Structure 1
């Protein structure tokens, strides 16, 4: 065994830092691979440059005509952000399963033919820009301009987009090639972006949603919406696309529906002239994906390229691997840490679960339990401060609450969740009589401690944030630190490794950008139809009868809206529908949004549609539904904690230090009793039904939060403990 911690373990922890290749993602070679890699790398570098205000002039002292001086105008930046992801996504992700072997297809001629109207639309958008720059007064009512926008730009673009999507569905694709339909869709994405940047650069952004809005905005938005939904289908499945489609249909049938679902009749042109603005697609979800999310994806890519992620997992094995059921406890620490950074529960399951799930099975966990523990731990990473899988930044964007306040408020709830999961796996291991891993199976903790400086990027990130640096500056410093600390290891990052990290970041960002843009469509429908306000009125009417019932209803809606969605999109949608109603109930904005956020996150482990659990089942070989049910059980605390901080705001760090300390201690004892009751393990022995019921009762008393109920719960637990010892003797020694 070597002294280097990253090679000290016989475990194959290198898989944690390997690039994951999805089933429908292309694997190119030669010139095509190089071209796509360069584009992906430049795409990530572009974001880092814009976010930090770098420019060619800063580097050279000279202005080069045609190159932007950063920072870019906000809307233009977001439009380019989405367009770049669309181009990369269509090139890299197939519309349908790959076929064996290359070859032409009869439908290719249709895609090639459709490139003519797509290119014509692109050239027309450039011509419009030239006309506007030349002094043409652009408006939405001039008959000549309107006709040109419809027939020379809009119709060719929409037709080409429709052909590209349909041909992509019907035409099988070789994994090592790009098909004409995907090139066509990439051209359409450029045409949409070119026109919108041109028109929004004039006063036309003030006309959106009015009769004066150029019809071209509506037609560009139709094409852009279709492109976003198609890419989302390719990278994230149908769930979010179906939900977005239902909301889009609602726009045009809402006036026919009864009750609170009834909405005013909205003309298609008016709706689409607004949906591709900051009221929809370019709104909060894209604002966060174009700034904080992609910044931390770049950070995660640098951690991966410098092998720091591998060290995190090795450190977790060294610290917790010897405990009973060791690999499950390693999964809790490693997946929680990595999930905090990468922002997607299912993706984190695949990254760390490929190592931890087989090891959990090896020490005795059932396949479904191994998958469930990994799914629950990876999902918990989304509520782990300071990054919270980018959730903290979205919450700050939506609520206006300072990021640092949100990160501090998340500490105790995150501790409660992970303590609960730890107890659940520990009691399961105790019931099954499991052992820990042997010393010769693990890296040495002393070796890990000597390389603790590899935690420096995370510490710099946290320190910079709480010293008052902006999130952008803190993330940039942490990214630079990841490259610098790599020089103290055998995995030194040079120009080639840095370029690889940026390329990796560009490809890693595609899914989250697509789902954020698609969620923006839903947010746009909610804001433009007013359905969110009407939902709030329904919630208020329920609360008049019973506030707890209203909270339960809000919980169900948040989970249902989040099923099948990545965490970021799930919270963004639920925050638009559910949170305003909770605020109107008199619940503080921070509490209301945390309530919604938690349930949007745990939708990833909630049957019947549990993305994280399904990903874990694919690795463990267990039944997906059985895995999701077990992960729901393992993560049960996440369904209780939001009600805890609703009844006792000290859990969100609101109150005196004494109140916060009391809330934290009693809540931890409460989740301990909850875990013991759910697992049926108490005082070192298997617990019967009666004891489990009493334990759950005591847990609920501790969870309620008042001093009286805390004392009652503690008294019940103490009496039960002494009673169990007197009846059954001393408990088994803890391991």
Structure 2
């Protein structure tokens, strides 16, 4: 089959070139030479290990998850500095003072001794069959390991090198500490499974778990910022200070030994979030890396520009499609804003969108990708793991809410474009749709993924086939994936997964605290008390808590925490499990565009040059439907594909009309400019469509038709008022 050109005169100008390349974070290293090859080799081995275990050689659960975390920590500490990086001048070398050398010596001594003891135990087992090493080996390894880990963390905070091309010695030591901690737990995994979190927990277990928690929190700080670390630290503090707190927050308290050993079990760090990150998340990140290596992401964006670039406010409508699709795959709202927004935001400004609107549209579309099936970032996988509901059922349930969200955003940008009298991009500046349409086979990996999922394949097998199909499809383009390209994709997959590995492990700490202290059950009782007054009030309270818990956190962690704290209370209210989890999931996702801490909006503001807080308010307005849709599917379960098809069709059509009216009210445009009074009337009509009954739907339609006739001068204000009487 002949290749269809993706560049040059035949295809027209390709607007998107490398749009899905992963930008380096401000503290992410960019190695060169042998160091680059070494890290790449470790990353490839890390990815291949996961794919092999998932498809060919299953491992015991704790062992697999511990190796998943250990590898992520090792790669993460080498790849991400404790400080913001900058290029070093040629010939400049790092100079270390006496105090830095002293702290490094403590780190080397402590971590070195702990690692040596663990290595001694494993060597005795491998070479001499000694199952129980001498008592001093494990009784003395723990405290030095913890002291050395703390010293290495502090050294990185104060003296970490700011050179992108090399790793600080303290970061190497932290990687070794991660391996030592993992080595101890795996050597004793059987007994630890029985005694962790009980009075039988031993002191070495406690030190290993404490070192692991410190390492996870430090890597999370480096890759995801302070918000999640602060929240996790508050929950850890709550475990110890609970006896001194009033009301439903009070609990008996726990000893450090019991707490930290409990946290490092499948009730905490090794629980549902890490179960998902070690399987579904890393598999689909690898799928996304294969799509990037084959430049399919560029095709998605160029296809969107060819299809909608000439429309009114074209770049904004392109952003809705392209950013939603890319956000679905890469699983991070803010990260997707940075990658696709660097292209779409300047083009939106070019056709007349204000800077804050351009950034807000990109942030809203990218966040919407987290609720877009079939991948939904990583939320669908965690939901399936937590609830036990089949993944395919969750994906089907997500279809209508996602469509409503993107319908709302589409009308938001369309009405704004009409109001500001915007134009699209000139035809000669856009790719040729006819040429790109003949390359529609590049959507095959997504189609194969959907087909295999609903054909009865497991999620892992379906994801593996989709990943392989991305490599095969690349041979129909100029970007054929040979061994070198596959090697780069496997390398990229590991690097892309580090943030989510750390985030899921940190979320596991919070989930473990909730399970240990029982605060989730007490929170459920609080919701039940509110529901006695008003179920809507209880839902509103649950919405606020989900958003607050998610502020500043990646979507994966935000949902994992909200699912542990809020969802059980909603289920006790009598809300079905699927509805309750979708309710908190939507608000956890939308925390990325909710002021005052709106990470996705702030990322867009940095690109557009707009004021961050105003941008977050704009993004909140554009995504307003997502704050109403959960109340819609609470009152009408048919929106989650629950019920008869006729009922599902009815609520879908009425809800779709409702979100269109909501967009009109927000933007002040409905077949022409509308003033404050008519905006308020249309808002009431939009909200009346939420309940889903025929009567409220009729009210909404009648009001909308009346305003349309008024704007078309078919009737006047007096006749409209008389009709209302």
TM-score (norm 2): 0.95
Query: Cα offset for 1:148?
Result: 4.9
Greater shift after overlay, 207-216 or 278-287? Answer: 207-216
1:115 alignment partner, one of 103, 108, 111: 108
Matched, 1:438 2:429: no
2:529 alignment partner, one of 541, 554, 565: 541
Contact 2:311 2:423 in 1 (8 A): yes
Matched, 1:712 2:715: no
Specify the alignment match of 2:684 in structure 1: 697
1:90 alignment partner, one of 77, 88, 92: 77
1:62-211 map, 5 Å: 70-98=57-85, 100-101=88-89, 102-106=93-97, 107-108=100-101, 110-129=103-122, 145=135, 148-150=137-139, 152-173=140-161, 174-200=163-189, 202-211=190-199
1:392-431 map, 5 Å: 392-431=380-419
Query: Cα offset for 1:10?
Result: 2.9
Contact 1:86 1:227 in 2 (8 A): yes
Contact 1:236 1:511 in 2 (8 A): yes
Query: Cα offset for 1:123?
Result: 2.3
Specify the alignment match of 1:48 in structure 2: 51
Greater shift after overlay, 714-723 or 574-583? Answer: 714-723
> How big is each residue's C-alpha offset from its partner over 1:429-456, in whole Å with a ceiling of 9 and x where there is no partner?
1111000111111111111111000000
Let me know the Cα RMSD of the aligned residues. 1.7
Paired with 1:108 and 1:322, the residues of 2 have a C-alpha distance of: 62
1:682 is paired with a residue whose SS is coil
Paired with 1:256 and 1:118, the residues of 2 have a C-alpha distance of: 36
Greater shift after overlay, 166-175 or 367-376? Answer: 166-175
Query: Cα offset for 1:232?
Result: 0.6
Contact 2:106 2:151 in 1 (8 A): no
2:324 alignment partner, one of 329, 336, 352: 336
1:186-585 map, 5 Å: 186-200=175-189, 202-585=190-573
Contact 2:301 2:318 in 1 (8 A): yes
From the superposition, tell whether residues 720 and 112 of structure 1 become closer, same or farther in structure 2 (CA, over 3 Å): same
Contact 1:6 1:310 in 2 (8 A): no
1:704 is paired with a residue whose SS is coil
TM-score (norm 1): 0.94
Paired with 1:344 and 1:299, the residues of 2 have a C-alpha distance of: 15
From the superposition, tell whether residues 558 and 170 of structure 1 become closer, same or farther in structure 2 (CA, over 3 Å): same
Matched, 1:655 2:646: no
Paired with 1:241 and 1:388, the residues of 2 have a C-alpha distance of: 25
Paired with 2:73 and 2:12, the residues of 1 have a C-alpha distance of: 41
Query: Cα offset for 1:109?
Result: 5.0
Paired with 2:498 and 2:259, the residues of 1 have a C-alpha distance of: 26
Query: Cα offset for 1:704?
Result: 1.4
1:388 is paired with a residue whose SS is coil
Paired with 1:91 and 1:359, the residues of 2 have a C-alpha distance of: 37
1:39 is paired with a residue whose SS is helix
Query: Cα offset for 1:384?
Result: 0.2
Specify the alignment match of 1:38 in structure 2: 41
1:686 is paired with a residue whose SS is coil
Contact 1:261 1:531 in 2 (8 A): yes
Contact 2:4 2:477 in 1 (8 A): no
Paired with 1:428 and 1:17, the residues of 2 have a C-alpha distance of: 28
What runs of 5+ residues in structure 2 fail to find an aligned partner? Answer: 717-725
Query: Cα offset for 1:215?
Result: 2.0
From the superposition, tell whether residues 172 and 126 of structure 1 become closer, same or farther in structure 2 (CA, over 3 Å): closer
Greater shift after overlay, 667-676 or 117-126? Answer: 117-126
Contact 2:286 2:467 in 1 (8 A): yes
> How big is each residue's C-alpha offset from its partner over 1:674-714, in whole Å with a ceiling of 9 and x where there is no partner?
0001110012x110111111101110111111111111111
1:603 alignment partner, one of 591, 614, 621: 591
1:13 is paired with a residue whose SS is coil
From the superposition, tell whether residues 634 and 203 of structure 1 become closer, same or farther in structure 2 (CA, over 3 Å): same
Paired with 1:132 and 1:576, the residues of 2 have a C-alpha distance of: 40
Contact 2:654 2:697 in 1 (8 A): yes
Paired with 1:216 and 1:138, the residues of 2 have a C-alpha distance of: 14
1:703 is paired with a residue whose SS is coil
2:16 alignment partner, one of 4, 13, 16: 13
Paired with 2:51 and 2:547, the residues of 1 have a C-alpha distance of: 34
Query: Cα offset for 1:203?
Result: 3.2
Matched, 1:627 2:620: no
> How big is each residue's C-alpha offset from its partner over 1:127-166, in whole Å with a ceiling of 9 and x where there is no partner?
3446678787879xxxx84x6534x211111011000100
Specify the alignment match of 1:64 in structure 2: none
1:17 is paired with a residue whose SS is coil
Task: Provide the aligned length of Structure 1 versus Structure 2.
Answer: 704
Paired with 2:46 and 2:123, the residues of 1 have a C-alpha distance of: 26
Contact 1:562 1:601 in 2 (8 A): yes
> How big is each residue's C-alpha offset from its partner over 1:460-508, in whole Å with a ceiling of 9 and x where there is no partner?
0000000010111111100100000110111101000000000011111
Paired with 1:643 and 1:442, the residues of 2 have a C-alpha distance of: 40
Contact 1:149 1:215 in 2 (8 A): no
Matched, 1:4 2:11: no
The 4+ residue runs of structure 1 with deviation greater than 4 A are 129-139
Query: Cα offset for 1:40?
Result: 1.1
Contact 1:6 1:314 in 2 (8 A): no
Paired with 1:204 and 1:298, the residues of 2 have a C-alpha distance of: 32
Paired with 1:311 and 1:334, the residues of 2 have a C-alpha distance of: 10
